[in-house]
Amino acid sequence: MLTAFTISSLFLAISPGPDNLYLITISVSKGRKNGFYFLLGLILGCFTHTLMLAYGLTPILLNYDGFFVLIKYVGFFYITYLVYNLFVDKKNNQHETDLKENIGDFKKGFFMNILNPKVFIFYLVFFPNFLFSNTLNYTHQILILGLIFIISTLIIFSVFIFGADFLNKKVVKFKNFRFYLKYLNTIVLISIALIILFSEK
């Protein structure tokens, strides 16, 4: 079961999705340092979801329709705010790597993960299918599965970051590259916002 879960986790990380697409756009536009800060935020979100599922909080929360709706709309408005900020921030066309911006990317990764209702459902539906032991309790098994999922995500997403950073160094010299990349970021963010908004329980 652990082998099947590991393979599934690796394939899920490779498959195109909102998290890895936005990770790539950040890494292309800002470089790998910002990409890794965003990734660390995603990892913290995954760890939070793992703890919530392991200790039985996820099914309790999802049992309330109001919680699902709340997370959905908060997530939608948060992503919408990021789109707005992308256009009003005068620094968005500069290659900045200061601590404040890095922490900002870390927060984006965390909140984009923790405010996505689909992630709650994914953990609740996917992880219990791979319980692997008759001796370990449920909590310990979920924690182990969560660790495997996090490591798999970390490995695959790190490859994406280095590849995107390499692309950044190759195409940054082209005229209007930053201008078009800003609109690509916008498209990705709007897509994520709509995915969250139209999430069904």
- Residue ranges per structural domain of the chain: 2-9+18-197
94 pLDDT higher than 60? no
Four-CA torsion 133, 139, 142, 143, nearest 10 degrees: -110
AA letter at 53: L
30-44: average pLDDT: 94
From residue 161, alpha-carbon distances to 21, 37, 68, 153, 167 in Å are 11, 11, 32, 12, 10
- pLDDT the model gives residue 166: 84
Could you report the per-residue pLDDT of 146-169, keeping only the tens digit for each? 999 999 999 999 999 999 888 877
| Position with higher pLDDT, 48 vs 84 | 48
Could you report the per-residue pLDDT of 69-79, keeping only the tens digit for each? 999 999 999 99
| Position with higher pLDDT, 77 vs 95 | 77
Lowest mean pLDDT across 22-36, 93-107, 120-134, 180-194:
93-107
Q: pTM of this prediction?
A: 0.89
Three-state SS string over 152-172 comes to HHHHHHHHHHHHHHHHHHHHC
pLDDT > 70: percent of the chain: 92
Do residues 141 and 133 lie in contact, with contact meaning Cβ atoms separated by under 8 Å?
A: yes
CA dist 176 and 188 (Å) reads: 19
Q: Assign 31 a pLDDT band (cuts: 50, 70, 90).
A: confident
- pLDDT the model gives residue 19: 87
Average pLDDT of every residue of the chain = 89
Do residues 114 and 48 lie in contact, with contact meaning Cβ atoms separated by under 8 Å?
A: yes
- Looking from the CA of 140 toward its CB, the CA atoms found within 13 Å total 6
54-65: average pLDDT: 93
